[in-house]
Structure 1
C-alpha cells in the first residue's frame, strides 16, 4: 500500500454530455473508494466529450436513481474533457465505443494507453461492453446504468488496488 500512497491514482469517467452515465460512475466509484477507506489515494472526476450541458447538474432521473441506492451526486457539474485531462488522469474510461473513439481522436499518442471502456472491469464483460445511454428512455434505463456501473466500479477498484500493491 505504500507504493499507492506515494502517488495518487486518478480516474476520469467519460460519456457524451456528462449528465447521466459518467456522473453516475463518478458517484458510484467514489462510494466504493470511500467504503474501502482509500479515498485519500484515488482522485475521481467525470467529463463529457461534447459541450452540451457544461455547468449543469446531473440529469434529475440519474440523481433520483442514484439516491435510491445511496449514492450522492451533490455538487457534480457537467464539464467537457480538457486537453490536460489526458496527462492528469491515469485511467480515462469511456461509457461506450463512440465516446472512446472521440477520446482516441483527441488524445496525444503518449497517453493513448490510458484510455479504455469502464465495462472492461466488469465481470459481465462477455455480455455488456458498453453502458447504454438512458437519456431518451424510461426510468429502467437509469437502473440498468447503475447495475452495470456498480459491477464495473468494484472490478476497477480491485484492479487498481491489486495492480498498485503488486507493483511494489
Structure 2
C-alpha cells in the first residue's frame, strides 16, 4: 500500500477512503462518521484518511441532514461539524478507495474518472459485504429510513475496518 496524503489535517496515512452519495448530506457523512468511529475503536485512525463527498453540488457547504446527525448522535457519533462538498477531479488521485452509496453514484463516478482510476471506485456494500445492493437514499422518508441506512452502513463499515486492519497490519516486505 502506498503512502497517501490524508484528507484530514494533512497527516500522512497509509490508505485513504472517500464515501460518496448524491448530495453529501445523508448517507456519505453518516458512513464517514461510522467508519471514523470504527477506525478509532480498532486503533487504525492514524493509518487511514477518510472523507465524504457528493456527486452533486447543490448542498455544498451545508451540514448533514438533521436526521443523519440525530441518528449518528443516538450511537455516540458526532457528524454535526461535517460540511457537504462535491467530488473533485483531484479526489480520483487523492483517495485509494472511493465507495459509492448506490449504483447511480457509482456510474456517475466512473463516467467522470479517467479509466486508470476506475479500479478505485466501488459500490460500498459490494466492496464491504459482497452484496450488490444500494444503500437507499433516506432523504424523502422518515426517521426510520435513517435508522435502516445507519444499520446497513454500520454492517459495511465493520467489515471494511476489519479488512483494512488485516491489510494494514501485515508486515511489508
Is 1:148 the counterpart of 2:133? The answer is no
- The equivalent residue for 1:95 is 101
Asked if 1:45 is matched to 2:45, the reply is no
Per mean C-alpha deviation after superposition, the further-off stretch among 113-122 and 13-22 is 113-122
Secondary structure of 1:93's match? strand
Matched, 1:109 2:115: yes
Matched, 1:16 2:37: no
TM-score of the aligned structures, taking structure 1 as reference length: 0.91
In 2, Cα distance between equivalents of 1:20 and 1:139: 12
User: What is the number of equivalent residue pairs in this alignment?
Assistant: 163
Go from structure 1 to structure 2 and tell me whether the alpha carbon gap of 1:34 and 1:21 turns closer, same or farther (over 3 Å shift). Answer: same
CA contact (8 A) 1:58 1:76 kept: yes
Counterparts of 1:149 and 1:56, CA distance in 2: 21
Higher helix share: 1
Query: Paired residue for 1:85?
Result: 91
Distance 1:141 1:74 in 2: 19
Q: Distance in 2 between matches of 1:39 and 1:167?
A: 18
2:13 touches 2:49 (CA, 8 Å); kept in 1?
A: no
Partner Cα distance (1:167, 1:113) in 2: 24
**Which whole-Å CA distance do the structure 1 matches of 2:152 and 2:126 have between them?**
11
1:74 is displaced (CA, Å) by: 2.9
Distance across 2 between alignment mates of 1:58 and 1:38 = 25
TM-score by structure 2 length?
0.88
Asked if residue 61 in structure 1 is aligned to residue 36 in structure 2, the reply is no
Deviation at 1:122, TM superposition (A): 4.4
Structure 2: gaps of 5 or more residues: 4-11
1:109 offset after TM fit, Å?
1.2
State the Cα distance separating 1:163 from its structure 2 match. 2.7
TM superposition shift of 1:164: 3.3
Unaligned runs of 5+ in 1: none
Moved over 3 A (4+): 121-124, 164-167
Three-state SS of the structure 2 residue aligned to 1:92 is strand
